Amino acid sequence: MKFNSWISYLGRLAYRFRIALTVVLLVLAVILLYPFETITIPQWNVRVVDDTGAPVREINITEHWQHYPVDSSGHEEVQRPNQNGFVSFKPRSIRASLTRRLFARINAGRRSGGRTTPYGAIVAWGSKTHETTVAVYKENETPPAELRVQRLR
């Protein structure tokens, strides 16, 4: 091979390498910066009953959720049970890139006391005839389907 064709071959090879490197870096950037969705708490359907199993309607049910440490603050929604004591909360999710999640994990010790898992709970409160009661969601488990509240004596 002549010297000029060698230079030409290396030039084409360098151009192809730059194109391939650019494509790889763009794909990597998209993967690291795309905000993937993660479910914090699945849909939570709960029936609120008293200690005899009768539905409780006159009570507030507040759902609390946060995905530590990606979520900077907690969230909540208040509902009242229907005639049969049922209340339904939609699934809760958060969108965050892999980069944000990585930095959040690194900073987890300072911001969230080292906690890195989703948190979810419902609180039954505000009844003159029933005690305040809490049910906690455990990650990768089905949320409790029944919340039993004790009558005040």
Q: Compute CA distances 14 → 21, 24, 86, 134, whole Å.
A: 10, 15, 66, 64
- Which residues lie below 8 Å from residue 129, measured CB to CB, with a gap of 6+? 58, 151, 152
Residue 44, helix vs strand vs coil: strand
Say how far apart CA 74 and CA 45 lie, in whole Å. Answer: 20
Q: pTM for the complete prediction?
A: 0.78
**pLDDT digit string, tens, across residues 22-32:** 898 899 999 99
> Do the bridges between strand 146-149 and strand 44-50 make them parallel or antiparallel, or are there none, so unpaired?
parallel
The answer to whether residue 112 scores a pLDDT higher than 60 is no
The answer to whether residue 135 scores a pLDDT higher than 90 is yes
What percent of the chain clears pLDDT 70, i.e. is strictly above it? 90
Q: How confident is the model at residue 72 (pLDDT cuts 50, 70, 90)?
A: confident
What is the predicted pLDDT for the residue at 103? 84
Taking residues 50-55, report their average pLDDT: 93
What is the predicted pLDDT for the residue at 3? 65
